[in-house]
């Protein structure tokens, strides 16, 4: 049965309609830091103010068909913080050092370590499966989907420049290229292979060489927005 109620999955106008609907609610909140990316809301400020805004989101949201999923809500605070509000007590407690916003760890620590460990495992699993297809196809898929593009968001949003997992990720990439090309690359050949295709390389970029520039470029390009928020 075809639904005629609201935008459908993958409807390009859906995010705009949702954002227009929720914007008045965001503007009415009193928290010092009220942020919203579609249905992902972040509130920051004194505990009493944030708690009042959570109740506002719950009450106003119900009138517009927006239901707060408490199971996915997190309370980011220092471990010593005493939480007295019942609504906030029902949220999952997360340490400041483990803060993750929109899929990217904010600070270095266990959360960033876990994200990079998962990405390295994902790459290893992808390489194992790519060995089952033609080498040319495997190399194209590695370059376009499973290597640097897979971690671009993490490189741009999280401080990863000196993270130990970068070397692990790059070593896995190098081993995969050697397997798919049936050729053992020297250090110099590996450096050339990681150049962009237009510069005579294979386009399989090393994350260790991109981490710092990717993060700095992202920070600089969003500086005006950061200043507005903060």
Model pLDDT, residue 64: 80
- Listing DSSP states for 83-139 in one string gives P--HHHHTSEEEEGGG-EETTEESSSSHHHHHHHHHHHHHHHHHHHHHTTS-HHHHH
Measured CA to CA, the distance from residue 5 to residue 45 in angstroms comes to 36
Instruction: Compute how many other C-beta atoms are within 10 angstroms of the C-beta atom of residue 39.
Output: 14
Measured CA to CA, the distance from residue 157 to residue 218 in angstroms comes to 7
Measured CA to CA, the distance from residue 35 to residue 57 in angstroms comes to 13
**Residue tagged 């906030």 (tokens):** 88
| Burial (0-12, 13-18, 19+ Cβ within 10 Å), 73 | middle
Distances (CA, A) of 52 to 30, 70, 80, 98, 101: 8, 15, 21, 25, 22
The parts of the chain modelled with pLDDT lower than 50 are 1
Nearest CA-CA partner of 95 in 85, 116, 109, 84: 109
Distances (CA, A) of 194 to 31, 150, 180, 203: 46, 16, 15, 6
Model pLDDT, residue 229: 76
Model pLDDT, residue 13: 84
Model pLDDT, residue 7: 66
The per-residue pLDDT for range 22-67, each reduced to its tens digit, is 899 899 999 998 888 888 899 999 999 999 999 999 888 888 888 8
The per-residue pLDDT for range 177-190, each reduced to its tens digit, is 999 999 999 999 99
Model pLDDT, residue 18: 85
pTM for this prediction: 0.79
Are the CB atoms for 42 and 35 separated by under 8 Å?
Answer: yes
CA atoms within 13 A on the CB side of 85: 15
Where do the structural domains in the chain lie, given as residue ranges? Answer: 14-98, 110-224
Measured CA to CA, the distance from residue 136 to residue 56 in angstroms comes to 55
């Amino acid at each position: 049965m075809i639904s005629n109620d609201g935008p459908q999955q993958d409807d390009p106008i859906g995010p705009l309609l949702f954002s227009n609907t929720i914007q008045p609610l965001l503007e009415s909140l009193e928290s010092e830091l009220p942020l919203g990316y579609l249905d992902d809301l972040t509130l920051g400020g004194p505990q009493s103010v944030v708690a009042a805004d959570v109740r506002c989101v719950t009450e106003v949201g119900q009138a517009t068909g927006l239901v707060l999923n408490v199971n996915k809500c997190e309370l980011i605070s220092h471990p010593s913080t005493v939480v007295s509000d019942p609504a906030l007590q029902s949220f999952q407690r997360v340490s400041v050092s483990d803060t993750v916003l929109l899929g990217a760890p904010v600070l270095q620590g266990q959360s960033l370590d876990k994200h990079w460990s998962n990405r390295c495992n994902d790459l290893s699993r992808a390489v194992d499966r790519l060995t089952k297809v033609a080498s040319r196809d495997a190399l194209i898929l590695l370059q376009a989907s499973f290597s640097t593009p897979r971690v671009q968001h993490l490189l741009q949003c999280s401080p990863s420049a000196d993270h130990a997992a970068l070397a692990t990720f790059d070593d896995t990439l190098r081993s995969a290229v050697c397997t798919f090309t049936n050729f053992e690359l020297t250090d110099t050949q590996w450096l050339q292979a990681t150049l962009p295709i237009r510069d005579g390389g294979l386009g399989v970029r090393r994350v260790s060489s991109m981490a710092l520039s990717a993060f700095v470029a992202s920070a600089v390009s969003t500086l005006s927005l950061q200043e507005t928020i903060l």
